Amino acid sequence: MGIFALVTGRPGPSGFGSASTAEQVTEGVDASNLTAIVTGGASGIGFETARVLALRRAHVIIAARNIEAANEAKQAIIKENISARVDVLKLDLCSLKSVRAFVDSFNALDLPLNLLINNAGVMFCPHQLSEDGVEVQFATNHLGHFLLTNLLLEKMKNTARTTGVEGRIVILSSLAHTTPYQEGIQFDKINDRIGYSELKAYGQSKLANLLHSNELSRRLQEDGVNITVNSVHPGLIMTPLMRHSPFLMKTFKLFTFWMWKNVPQGAATTSYVALQPKMKGVTGKYFVDCNEMKPSSHARDEKLAKKLWDFSNKLIDGASKS
């Protein structure tokens, strides 16, 4: 998948490309036996993903920080599709306490769980720490999702085992995973203000998403679990994610105008990996424009992935004790 394919929208080996929409890549799919959680499903590509999953008859749980916006999203989906099954639960990924409370609320619904779409994120934030004392981009984009996934894993395993239906976890990364700090993940300086770069910190968090996806996939395969884990780059889309850096993003867009997608196109790769029958059994891969792509050397570093896994667990343990 080269630059030419990106600009022209020419389909890749999957039959889809950068111009494909979420509806197109899931056409004919019946997801009526699936329950899905979409983090950040109240706006942007998260909303479009939730809408299309509901359109394909999945039961969708929108997990969002802003409950009012999430309820509006739910109403918009139901207005278009009267038979849609949509629930809303509060989730602030920047707070480990909120992640735990969300999982308790979800478990109380006594639903199965087939699909987990780790979509929510923040981008290019000025330096600040979360309530758990972790740099905000790393805390929101990686650590919150890391804990969420771990806490929901037993539910997903049980669902896959009892139904015989493959579970799927889709983790949104980004092409920005190729531009982290030099060493990839700054384990010893994760929260440092000195030397902080909002761009590199974002790249670091997106690299963490990819490493998390690969390591989780490896562990589940080792245990013979019927759950796949893949990461995706949705493409460049002007969404509320850009709110922290309007000038930076406008300048960036000026020079990269040919790479940008609309929201239905932006949700295509996530929807493809989550629902396409031809993705059955595919795990530990990285997808761009609905086609597999080779990520950076940092992202393919198994030692780095294992180190991040242990580091993330330590951060969570530390936060729970403080």
- Check: CB of residue 287 under 8 Å from CB of residue 230: yes
Q: Tell me which residue of 135, 290, 166 sits closest to 228, measured CA to CA.
A: 166
Identify whether 181 is a catalytic site residue.
no
- Find the catalytic residue in 181, 196, 202, 272: 196
Question: What distance separates the 2 farthest-apart alpha carbons in the chain?
Answer: 52
Phi, psi of 9 (to 5 degrees): 75, 15
Strands 167-172 and 115-118: parallel
Q: Tell me which residue of 38, 35, 91 sits closest to 62, measured CA to CA.
A: 38
- Per DSSP, 236 falls in state B
The count of C-alpha atoms lying within 13 angstroms of the C-alpha of 16, restricted to the half-sphere facing its C-beta, is 26
- Residue 287: strand pairing partners: 232, 292
Provide the token pair at 139.
């805390």
Give the separation between CA 223 and CA 233, rounded to whole angstroms.
27
Give the separation between CA 122 and CA 244, rounded to whole angstroms.
9
Q: How many CB atoms lie within 10 A of CB 116?
A: 28
Give the separation between CA 220 and CA 116, rounded to whole angstroms.
15
Give the separation between CA 229 and CA 212, rounded to whole angstroms.
9
Q: How many CB atoms lie within 10 A of CB 33?
A: 12
**Distance separating the N- and C-terminal Cα atoms of the chain:** 47
Task: Tell how far CA 224 is from the center of its chain.
Answer: 23
Catalytic residues: 196
